[in-house]
């Protein structure tokens, strides 16, 4: 069960049902995606070979507005995973009260084995495959794992070619030059940093000098690390697929960021093979230890931030966790069995649908700017992000305290399920 993200998502819903004011019939409806399209994507690679890829777009629920959610390129993508991620998008947009439903896309591929040209062709093929189901008022994709503003530019261009005119608002997370918003690239990491601050305020603890371990140093993990570091917290460990770096005195997050931006791996950084301008002499590099991703999860730190893939905190390792709080930057990093164990141990978990909602909040702000054909300065975007994610955090905590719920995830789910169910009730279940 724990290995299937969709079953995990359903189990999270089931845990919340007894506390949520939702009609059982509507609740049953909410367990099923509206539709999933599977597409076959033949691509002639730069090498001359033809490779046939498989991709999906799941539209989970649209009662509250157009479908919204990212697109993931990863070798382990499955239909069930994409459907789980689309479900989580539905609860996330409801929790932070955006006028959207939830969707997600994925393509089974290993991006590091593909050239830039291959990736462009694959992205365009995928966009053509799903283009009849997306659109500014229908379903609006965005970046997720291994996709970025360039991917969104190719998607926007392919969609626009078929429409015959430029349609920037068909995707969010675009480059600034074609209608992107300032602040989207770091928005998810900024949201993670903001909710971590809120959590510490709520727990009446001091975040300055708190120790933090972050699994994953991609878009979300690296921006969260940078912002938490700038805010005075002590990021002592982080990782990528190659392994983890650990320095109990704190990593040089800026130097590691420059190294990774220049194409370097964490394991190379630990070995002192530093790219991106910094060197062992001029950075805070202090011979960090090479540890594994599994070891990172069990470090004795104040906050553990999983920011990579699903299902990393499980029944097998939860008893070894020593962090006093978990902030879920990744989608679905904790299995339900592990979640129950964390609740029993009084380890506060800020659930993914709240902790990583900064990305979709700023995607919404991009979409609104595109509709207005007007652009806002970064300060306006960041202030609106802080207001919206802060308000969602406060409402979740209020629900948790006033209803004496077992944990913050249950509180977040009851709010999200009630809002989505209300929308279904007003609209009616039958055509
Ligand atoms: N990009 C966004 O705006 C949002 C992303 N998320 C979630 O955040 C997580 C990370 O996404 P991004 O940072 O965008 O992806 P990314 O592709 O930029 O970075 C992923 C990072 O995780 C590492 N990684 C991959 N597989 C791993 C494994 N098995 N063990 C350890 N590390 C591994 C990669 O090496 C990389 O450092 C995902 O769960 C994603 O769904 C959630 C909300 C929005
Ligand atoms: O920005 C968006 O629309 C969605 C980002 C995403 O995929 C997520 O929040 O998991």
| Per-residue model confidence (pLDDT) at position 285 | 82
ipTM above 0.95, yes or no: yes
Render pLDDT for 217-274 as a digit per residue (tens, 0 to 9): 999 999 999 999 999 999 999 999 999 999 999 999 999 999 999 999 999 999 999 9
Domains 34-167 and 187-350 share a fold: yes
Cα separation, 97 vs 103, whole angstroms:
16
Which tens digit of pLDDT belongs to each residue from 74-126? 999 999 999 999 999 999 999 999 999 999 999 999 999 999 999 999 999 99
pLDDT in tens, 268-314: 999 999 998 888 887 788 899 999 999 999 999 999 999 999 999 99
Query: Is residue 306 within 8 Å of residue 296, measured between CB atoms?
Result: no
Crossing angle, helix 5-17 and helix 408-427, to 10 degrees? 90
Q: How far apart are the first and last CA of the chain?
A: 34
Q: Is the pLDDT of residue 334 over 50?
A: yes
pLDDT at 3: 75
Q: Please give the average per-residue pLDDT across 159-175, as a whole number.
A: 98
Q: What percent of the chain has pLDDT over 70?
A: 99
Q: Which two tokens stand for residue 417?
A: 């399920």
Query: What average pLDDT does the chain have?
Result: 96
1 — pLDDT class (breaks 50, 70, 90)? very low
pLDDT at 430: 67
pLDDT at 429 over 70: yes
- Structure confidence at residue 127 (pLDDT): 98
Assess whether the C-beta atom of 240 lies below 6 angstroms from ligand 1.
yes
Give the residue extent of every domain in the chain.
34-167, 187-350
pLDDT-derived band at 426, boundaries 50, 70, 90: very high
Instruction: For residue range 338-351, list pLDDT tens digits in order.
Output: 999 999 999 999 99
What does 44-81 look like in DSSP terms, one character per residue? Answer: E-TTS-EEEEEEEEEEEE-TTSSEEEEEEEETT--HHH
Name the CATH architecture for the domain at 187-350. Answer: 3-Layer(aba) Sandwich (3.40)
Distances (CA, A) of 182 to 173, 218, 378, 394: 9, 19, 5, 26
**How far is Cα 234 from Cα 257, in angstroms, rounded to an integer?**
15
Q: Sheet harboring 348-350: ordered strands across?
A: 289-291, 243-246, 234-240, 211-215, 303-306, 325-327, 348-350
- Annotated catalytic residue, options 104, 174, 395, 422: 104
Contact 102, 92 (CB under 8 A): yes
> Can you tell me the mean pLDDT for 159-186?
98
Examine the pLDDT at 143 and tell me if it is beyond 80: yes
The most distant pair of C-alpha atoms in the chain lies apart, rounded to whole Å, by 68
Residue-level pLDDT at 431:
60
Binding-site residues from annotation for substrate: 68, 92, 363
d(CA 308, CA 330): 5
- pLDDT tens digit string along 369-424? 999 999 999 999 999 999 999 999 999 999 999 999 999 999 999 999 999 999 99
- Which residue's alpha carbon is nearest to atom 6 within ligand 2? 70
Radius of gyration (C-alpha) of the chain in whole angstroms? 21
Assess contact for 167 and 199: CB atoms under 8 A.
no
Residue of 376, 374, 333 whose CA lies nearest to 352: 333
Q: How far apart are CA 323 and CA 228, in angstroms?
A: 16
- Summarised one tens digit per residue, pLDDT across range 2-39 is 479 999 999 999 999 999 999 999 999 999 999 999 99
* Cα–Cα distance measured from residue 120 to residue 107, given in angstroms and rounded to the nearest whole number: 13
Q: Which atom of ligand 2 is nearest to the CA of 363?
A: 1
Question: Which of the listed residues 87, 99, 138, 143 should we mutate to test ligand 2's pocket, taking the one with most ligand atoms within 8 A of CB?
Answer: 143
Q: Which regions of 112-222 does DSSP assign to beta strands (E)?
A: 139-143, 211-215
| Residue 406 · residue 400 · CB < 8 Å | no
What is the whole-number distance in angstroms between the Cα of residue 219 and the centre of ligand 1?
A: 7
Q: How far is the CA of 144 from the centre of ligand 2 (A)?
A: 6
Which residue among 5, 75, 218, 291 is best mutated to probe the pocket of ligand 1, counting the most ligand atoms within 8 A of its Cβ? Answer: 218
CATH 3.50.50.60 fits 34-167, yes or no: no
| 104: annotated active-site residue | yes
Strand partners, 143: 71
**Tokens representing residue 375 in the block:** 């652009």
What one-character-per-residue DSSP string does 258-310 give?
Answer: HHHHTT--HHHHHTT---SS--TTTSS---PEEE-HHHHHT---SEEEE-S-S
pLDDT > 90: percent of the chain: 96
Question: Bigger pLDDT: 210 or 281?
Answer: 210
* Ligand 1 neighbour 93 (Cβ under 6 A): no
d(CA 215, CA 226): 14
Please state, in angstroms and rounded to a whole number, the distance separating the CA atoms of residues 427 and 29.
Answer: 13
Phi-psi region of 135 (alpha: psi -120 to 50; beta: other; left: phi over 0): left
Cβ-count burial of 25 within 10 angstroms (0-12 exposed, 13-18 middle, 19+ buried)?
exposed
Residues marked as binding?
Answer: 68, 92, 188, 219, 363
């Amino acid at each position: 069960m724990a290995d299937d993200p969709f079953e995990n998502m359903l189990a999270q819903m089931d845990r919340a049902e007894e506390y949520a004011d939702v009609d059982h019939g509507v609740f049953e409806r909410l367990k099923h995606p509206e539709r999933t399209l599977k597409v076959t994507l033949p691509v002639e690679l730069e090498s001359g070979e033809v490779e046939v890829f498989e991709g999906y777009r799941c539209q989970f629920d649209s009662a509250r507005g157009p479908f919204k959610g990212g697109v993931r390129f990863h070798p382990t993508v499955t239909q069930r995973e994409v459907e789980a991620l689309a479900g989580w998008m539905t609860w996330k947009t409801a929790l932070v009260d955006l006028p959207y439903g939830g969707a997600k896309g994925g393509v089974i591929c290993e991006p590091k084995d593909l050239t830039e040209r291959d990736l462009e062709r694959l992205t365009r093929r995928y966009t053509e495959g799903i283009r009849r189901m997306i659109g500014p008022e229908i379903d609006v994709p965005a970046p997720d794992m291994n996709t970025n503003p360039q991917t969104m530019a190719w998607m926007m261009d392919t969609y626009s070619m078929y429409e015959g005119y430029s349609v920037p608002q068909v995707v969010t997370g675009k480059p600034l030059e074609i209608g992107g918003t300032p602040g989207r690239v770091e928005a998810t990491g900024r949201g993670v940093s903001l909710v971590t601050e809120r959590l510490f305020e709520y727990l009446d603890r001091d975040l300055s000098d708190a120790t933090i371990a972050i699994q994953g140093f991609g878009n979300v993990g690296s921006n969260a690390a940078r912002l938490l570091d700038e805010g005075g917290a002590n990021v002592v460990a982080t990782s990528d697929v190659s392994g983890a770096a650990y320095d109990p005195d704190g990593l040089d997050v800026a130097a590691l960021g420059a190294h990774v931006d220049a194409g370097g791996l964490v394991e190379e950084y630990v070995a002192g093979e530093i790219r991106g301008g910094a060197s062992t002499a001029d950075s805070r590099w202090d011979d960090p230890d090479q540890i594994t991703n599994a070891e990172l999860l069990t470090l004795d730190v104040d906050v553990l931030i999983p920011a990579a893939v699903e299902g990393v905190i499980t029944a097998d390792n939860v008893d070894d966790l020593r962090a006093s709080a978990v902030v879920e930057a990744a989608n679905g990093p904790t299995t339900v069995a592990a979640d129950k164990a964390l609740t029993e141990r009084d380890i506060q978990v800020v659930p993914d649908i709240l902790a990583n909602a900064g990305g979709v909040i700023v995607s919404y702000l991009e979409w609104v700017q595109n509709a207005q054909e007007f652009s806002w300065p970064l300060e306006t975007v960041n202030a609106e992000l802080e207001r919206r994610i802060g308000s969602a955090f406060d409402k979740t905590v209020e629900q948790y305290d006033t209803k004496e719920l077992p944990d913050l995830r249950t509180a977040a789910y009851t709010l999200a399920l009630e809002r989505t169910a209300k929308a279904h009730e007003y609209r009616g279940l039958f055509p």
